[in-house]
Amino acid sequence: MQTQAATSYSDRNFQPVVEKCNGCERIVEEAGAQYCQSYLKPESKWRLGICNFATHAKPEIKVTTVRINPLKAAKRASAKKV
């Protein structure tokens, strides 16, 4: 007879989530504490910026327009046609 014992997040060395994790879909609440189901140490994922597991925060993409000299563009286009 085999019995499967359920292990809790606190038994597996998971650390509680930090404030930046609030709103994430990966948060699991157990025994009054909130844990990330994807990563053991959520605080270290936020150290360098946005956590790559975060479902509530998206990275900001900066779009810059580059001005191209029309004379150089024409020369490049004509050189490719040869």
Is 77 within a domain?
yes
Task: Please state the domain count of the chain.
Answer: 1
Task: Express each pLDDT in 20-29 by its tens digit.
Answer: 888 888 888 8
Domain residues for the domain of 30 are: 9-81
Nearest to 56 by CA among 29, 26, 23, 20: 23
Q: Give dist(CA 81, CA 3) in Å, integer.
A: 74
Instruction: Quote the distance between the C-alpha of residue 59 and its chain's center.
Output: 8
Is 41 within a domain?
yes
Instruction: Give residue 48's pLDDT.
Output: 83
Q: Which residues pair with 29 in a beta bridge?
A: 34
- Mean pLDDT, range 6-21, rounded to an integer: 77
The whole-model pTM stands at: 0.57
